[in-house]
């Protein structure tokens, strides 16, 4: 019995780790969304964090906590000069500019021979464990829970709902938006650093445009209005492929195509029927039951 449990844990430990990593990445997109900004530079920030962490461990021989600190710090520092000009942009223009930043980082790494270009850094020692990743998510959630309902939280909500109105009330909106971009960058960088030390390798192609789309989908499917929504979304969508591996033989469809089908369906259904994400499902069910 104990052996079966340990096998079960071993089988899904990478999935557990990836739930945490994906949750941090989803939160990095969420923090900007929480003040109404669609900033999609997180793949670039995660790449910076992953490479900074990996180089710190492999070239500079830094202890792991320091390497992780560097993973979070470097993208945060980069986010400041990036944020000052691009946060003047709004909506889809901000999204395009930040996606552009992510691509610049990816292409820079591809052309940087010191880190093996497209082949990436390999044979990174595995130092991140599930508890560290879980702790990182827990601390992040705690901080975000404290922000909610605080002066900061109200300011962010005000900016999200109506930025000009918030400004007239004396809320320095640019400073708040920049702070959220920097926080998002630090979270993405931390996730990148953890991933690099969890999966033995990092390569630029792991941080392309599709990765940031994944993060946004995690946040949207889980629910981008509550701070724990993105974590639910990341958890659900990371576990889904593994569940479908079990289900596929029962329905007689190959797991690959089935995964793409179900992923698409989930996204479609959530956007159509649960615009506030999966976390709003219990409330919606209660409302329906209450209605005559």
Partner 1 sequence: MRLAPRISLLVAASLLSIGSAHAETVVKIGAALSLTGPAAAYGAQQKVGILAAVEEVNRSGALKGVKLEAVIEDDASTKEQGIAVFQRFINKDKVAAIIGPTLSNTATAADPLAQGARVPVVAVSNTAPKGITDIGDFIWRVSLTEGQVIPGALKRLQAKLGFKKAGVLYGNDDAFTQAGYNVMKAATEAMALEVVGTQTFAKPDKDYTAQLTALLGGKPEILIVSALVENASGIVAQARQLGWQGPIFGGNGFNSPKLMGNAGPAAEGVYVGTAWNKVSSAAPNQAFLKNMAARAHEPDQFCAQAWTGVMAIAEAIRLSGKGGREEVRAGFLKLKALPTPLGTFSFLESRDGSHDPALQVVKDGKFQIVQ
| Contacts with partner 1, residue ranges (CB under 8 A) | 7-8, 10-15, 18, 107, 110-111, 117-120, 122-123, 126, 199-201, 203-206, 241-242, 245, 254-257, 259-260
Token digits of residue 250:
């029962």
Please, what is the minimum distance in Å from the beta carbon of residue 13 to partner 1? 7
Of the pair 163, 195, the CB lying nearest partner 1 is at 195
Of the pair 15, 225, the CB lying nearest partner 1 is at 15
Of the pair 157, 242, the CB lying nearest partner 1 is at 242
**H-helix segments, 121-274:** 130-147, 151-161, 163-168, 173-196, 209-222, 229-251, 255-273
Report the Cα–Cα distance between both ends of the chain, in Å, rounded: 48
Please, what is the minimum distance in Å from the beta carbon of residue 214 to partner 1? 10
Of the pair 13, 150, the CB lying nearest partner 1 is at 13
Of the pair 106, 177, the CB lying nearest partner 1 is at 106
Alpha-carbon distances, residue 95 vs 27, 104, 157, 197 (angstroms): 16, 14, 20, 29
Is 34:180 a contact under the CB 8 Å cutoff? yes
CA 36 to chain centre: 17
CA angle 27, 30, 35 (to 5 degrees): 145
Q: Which of 56, 20, 30, 44 is nearest to 183 (CA)?
A: 30
């Amino acid at each position: 019995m104990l052996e079966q449990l340990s096998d079960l844990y071993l089988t899904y430990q990478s999935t557990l780790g990836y739930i945490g990593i994906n949750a941090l990445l989803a939160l990095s997109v969420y923090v900007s969304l929480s003040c109404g900004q669609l900033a999609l530079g997180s793949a670039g920030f995660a790449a910076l964090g992953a490479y900074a962490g990996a180089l710190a461990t492999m070239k500079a021989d830094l202890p792991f906590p320091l390497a992780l600190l560097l993973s979070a710090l470097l993208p945060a520092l980069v986010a400041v000069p990036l944020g000052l000009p691009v946060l003047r942009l709004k909506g889809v223009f901000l999204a395009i500019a930040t996606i552009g930043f992510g691509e610049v980082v990816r292409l820079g790494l591809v052309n940087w021979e010191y880190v093996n270009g497209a082949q990436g850094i390999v044979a990174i020692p595995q130092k991140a464990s599930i508890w560290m990743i879980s702790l990182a998510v827990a601390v992040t959630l705690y901080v975000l829970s404290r922000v909610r309902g605080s002066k900061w939280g109200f300011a962010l909500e005000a900016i999200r709902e109506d930025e000009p109105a918030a400004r007239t009330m004396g809320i320095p909106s640019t400073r708040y938006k920049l702070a959220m971009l920097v926080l998002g960058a630090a979270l993405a960088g931390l996730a990148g650093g953890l991933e690099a030390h969890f999966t033995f390798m990092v390569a630029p192609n792991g941080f392309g445009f599709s990765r940031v789309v994944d993060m946004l989908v995690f946040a949207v499917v889980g629910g981008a209005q509550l701070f724990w929504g993105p974590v639910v979304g990341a958890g659900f969508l990371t576990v889904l492929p593994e569940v479908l591996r079990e289900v596929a033989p029962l329905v007689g469809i190959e797991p690959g195509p089935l995964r793409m089908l179900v992923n698409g369906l989930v996204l479609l259904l959530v956007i159509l029927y649960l615009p506030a994400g999966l976390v709003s499902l219990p409330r919606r069910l209660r409302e329906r039951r209450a209605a005559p």
